[in-house]
Structure formats: structure tokens, C-alpha cells
Amino acid sequence: MAQALSSEQLVDIAGTYGTPVYVYHAEKIEEQYRKLTTAFSNTNTVFFYACKALTNINILKHIKELGANVDCSSINEVKLALHAGFPPNRILYTSNGIGFSEIEEAKNLGVYINIDSLSNLEKFGQKFGHSYPVGIRLRPNIMAGGNLKISTGHEKSKFGIPVDQIETILELVNKYNLRICDLHIHTGSEIKDVEVFVKGIEVLFNIIPHFKDLEFIDLGGGFKVPYKDGDVETDIPLLAQKVGEAFANHPNPGGKPLQVWFEPGKFMVSECGYFITQVNVMKETSAATFVSVDSGFNHLIRPMFYDAYHRIENISNPNGPKKTYSVVGNICETDTFAWHRELNEVREGDYLVFYNAGAYGFEMSSNFNSRYKPVEILVKDGTAHQIRKRDVFEDLLRNQIEVL
Ligand SMILES: *Cc1c(COP(=O)(O)O)cnc(C)c1O
């Protein structure tokens, strides 16, 4: 198992590169990927890293070297993946609500595409017919995931073509002789119950017999990782077993063995990430002792956006007495990271680290309040490499056109 980065290492990095800073641990990403490939080693399964979780080009290159494929949610992510060296046949573009021109662009780049609307499926048929294989993103009408904002497969979700519209899908497939190579579902994020994936397979097997060119079944991502003590990770070996059984019970009517795809994002990169901030001010009030750090939801939005829990530690005072604090940011907007949290005694100038910050951390950061985005560091083979420099003032004006 990859040893977690130590407090000393993190303090050292914060001192060298300043704060706020995101630190990623390459070996932890490898460990997560190996958990998947080991559990599924006896099956015909391929993993596409859902790169919207973290797209730093060095992370993409590292994951390419590990042997994973990549799943993209925009044409620019497809281009980043190509830039990182992924060949087109290891890139999947799972689209959602995009204009047809982006689908054409993806087709011209030669990557796999999952289409998520009848409208784009029809346009694809009109233009390309049987000439280019394509996947369909379905909405299985299953409720799953840690929070409604991250549930994507339920009956009110915008994602995918609802399975109950299968008749219309089949009309289009027949009309244009579409070569449907893949059926995709992604039910949400933070799914700890592996039965959700089994249910998804059941839904798919009802319709698989209609697709004679099918080669892949894509079950999406959404594996859960532990955020707080007592949390569990999705049981990957159990998932492998259940998926194996489900496919044994539903042989492909076409006779061809189907390859199973997954698209883990958070599972691959969440725990590799550490977000280090420094304490600006301590403020005693009747409601709480506030600890204001040099960051806010402009850098880590998950607590405010999803009520997400991130474990926090005072790495500058690991042996200090435990006290209760409310950890907040420094932007002009309520940006609570943690309310009434026990930490080792906090003093101005201390470094606080947020754990599990690799996924949807830097990636969802912004320049709100005209503050600079954090630096990013990759620790690989024990060495810290800076992989993003801090913004400078000119960056705030870049792309603005001064007409007055
Ligand atoms: C976001 C996303 C994923 C990854 O979800 P995680 O919860 O990070 O594993 C996978 N597939 C698709 C289509 C997505 O949009």
C-alpha cells in the first residue's frame, strides 16, 4: 500500500511553495487503479478514468502510463487527453447536452462517443449512418448516489436518453442503420451499494438483444471513497464478483462476449490529494471559535456545494490539545469548510490540511473575489514537482478587453 504523505512532507511543501496548495501523490493513484484491475483481473473489463475529477496534464500522463483509458466530458478534455498521449482508441467522450458540432469534432478525432439525446442520435445517423460506431448513453431510471446533485440516473435527471424511450431509439437505429457499439449508464457519484450496478445491468439486459453490433457495456463511475472515519469504500472485489455473476446469468444473445467498461473518477484521484491552507486569523465569538484560512469555496467548493465532509488536520501542531473550531475561508461570501470540528489547538500561521482533496477540488476552483488559484504539486517517487504555478496579477486581466 502507498504510504500516505506525512505531515512533515506536507509542512515542507507548504513552506517551499506557499499556500494554498494542492498536493497529489502519484503512488496513491496507482494503488487505486491496481485495486480495480486486480479485482477484475479474470474478467474482460476496461477502466476509463473520468478525468473531469482532475485534469492536470501530469495526472493524465501518469494515468496513461498506468494503463488506464480516459473518459471525457467535453471536447477540450478529449484534446487534453490526446495532448497527454492517449491514442484515440483509449479515449471515450461521454457527452451530455452538447451541440452536434462537438460530436462531429470528436468523430473526426477518432475517439469513442456516447450520445445522450435522440436529437443528436438522429443527426449522427443522417450524417454518418453505419460508417462510424457509436454508443448510447441511457438513463436507467435508478436512484443512486450520495446527494441529489450528484445523482444522474433517476427519473427527473437530465442525463441520458430515458430507457422508456427505447422504441424511438430503435426506430432511429433502424432508420439510419446505426452501428451501436456500446450502451452506457452512469447512475451517480458515491455509490456504495454494488447492487446499484447489478440493477443497471438488469435494465441493460432487457434491451441488449436489440443491438446486434454491441461490443461494450459501460456501467459508468461513481465508486465511493471514505471521507470520514467509519466511511466505507465501494467493495470493489464484491462488485467484480456481482458483475461477473450478472453477466454469467445474462449471456449476450448475440453470442459475442461483451466487454465491460467503468468510468471511475473520484475513486482514482480523491485520496491522492491534500489541500494545504494557512490560518490567517483566529476569531472568538459567542457562536464559535472561527479559524479563517487563506482560501475559500473559490478553491474547494465541495463543502459548500455538496455538504461534503473533508477531514482536516492541523499539521503545524499535531500534539496540541484538542479544541473545537469552525473552519471558514477568507472570501466575501459564507464559505464554511467545517462547523464545530475538533482540531489540535490552532494558532495564526498554522497549516491546516484538507484530506481527500484530489477529486473535484482544484478542478472546480475559480478566481472568485479576484483571488489566485492554488498551486499544484505532484509527489512521485518521493520527489515533489511543481505542476502549476501560482496565478499572478496579469492573469486576472488576461482576456479582458479594456475599452474604457
Ligand atoms: C462524473 C462522471 C463519472 C465519474 O464519476 P465519479 O463519481 O467521479 O466516479 C463517470 N462517468 C460520467 C459520464 C461522468 O459524468
125 lines ligand 1 (CB under 6 A): no
End-to-end C-alpha distance for the chain, whole angstroms = 58
- Whether 91 is in a domain gets the answer yes
Q: Are residues 83 and 215 in the same domain?
A: yes
Going residue by residue through the chain, which has 404 residues, state the pLDDT in tens, using 9 for 90 and above: 788 999 999 999 999 999 999 999 999 999 999 999 999 999 999 999 999 999 999 999 999 999 999 999 999 999 999 999 999 999 999 989 999 999 999 999 999 999 999 999 999 999 999 999 999 999 988 866 666 676 777 778 889 999 999 999 999 999 999 999 999 999 888 888 899 899 999 999 989 999 999 999 999 999 999 999 889 999 999 999 999 999 888 877 777 789 999 999 999 999 999 999 999 999 999 999 999 999 999 999 999 999 999 999 999 999 999 999 999 999 999 999 999 999 999 999 999 999 999 999 999 999 999 999 999 999 999 999 999 999 999 999 999 999 99
Q: Are residues 260 and 274 in the same domain?
A: no
Name the burial class of residue 204, with classes exposed (0-12), middle (13-18) and buried (19+) by CB atoms within 10 angstroms of its CB. Answer: buried
- Whether 340 is in a domain gets the answer yes
- 34, containing H or E segment: helix 26-39
Q: Any idea what DSSP says for residue 4?
A: P
pLDDT of residue 55: 98
- Whether 34 is in a domain gets the answer no
CA distances to 250, 355, 367, 400 from 395, in Å: 55, 28, 10, 10
- Whether 183 is in a domain gets the answer yes
Give me the phi and psi of 44, to 5 degrees please. -90, 80
pLDDT of residue 178: 98
Q: Are residues 121 and 237 in the same domain?
A: yes
Q: Are residues 83 and 99 in the same domain?
A: yes
pLDDT of residue 142: 80
Active site (annotated) includes residue 332: yes
Q: Are residues 223 and 287 in the same domain?
A: no
Q: Are residues 51 and 152 in the same domain?
A: yes
264 lines ligand 1 (CB under 6 A): yes
Q: Are residues 82 and 205 in the same domain?
A: yes
Is 33 among the annotated ligand-binding positions? no
pLDDT of residue 146: 61
Q: Are residues 344 and 361 in the same domain?
A: yes
- Whether 125 is in a domain gets the answer yes
3-state secondary structure of 380: strand
Q: Where a domain ends, among 240, 264, 288?
A: 264
Contact 211, 173 (CB under 8 A): yes
pLDDT of residue 1: 76
What is the separation of C-alpha 329 from the centre of its chain, rounded to a whole number of angstroms? 24
CATH at residue 130: 3.20.20.10
Q: Ligand 1 pocket: which of 71, 191, 196 to mutate (most atoms <8 Å of CB)?
A: 71
Domains in the chain: how many in total? 2
188 lines ligand 1 (CB under 6 A): no
- Whether 7 is in a domain gets the answer no
Name the burial class of residue 16, with classes exposed (0-12), middle (13-18) and buried (19+) by CB atoms within 10 angstroms of its CB. Answer: exposed
pLDDT of residue 354: 98
pLDDT of residue 145: 65
Q: Where a domain ends, among 239, 264, 289?
A: 264
Q: Are residues 82 and 216 in the same domain?
A: yes
192 lines ligand 1 (CB under 6 A): no
Q: Are residues 47 and 91 in the same domain?
A: yes
Strand ranges, E, within 157-258: 161-162, 180-184, 216-218
Contact 199, 140 (CB under 8 A): yes
Cα(84) to centroid(ligand 1), Å: 20
pLDDT of residue 323: 98
Q: Are residues 139 and 204 in the same domain?
A: yes
CA distances to 70, 110, 211, 214 from 113, in Å: 12, 9, 16, 14
Q: Are residues 353 and 229 in the same domain?
A: no
pLDDT of residue 255: 76
pLDDT of residue 164: 92
Give me the phi and psi of 268, to 5 degrees please. -75, -40
CATH at residue 283: 2.40.37.10
Q: Which domain covers residue 328, as residue numbers?
A: 270-397
Lookup result for grid cell 473520484: 266
Q: Where a domain ends, among 208, 239, 264?
A: 264
For residue 250, the one-letter residue type is H
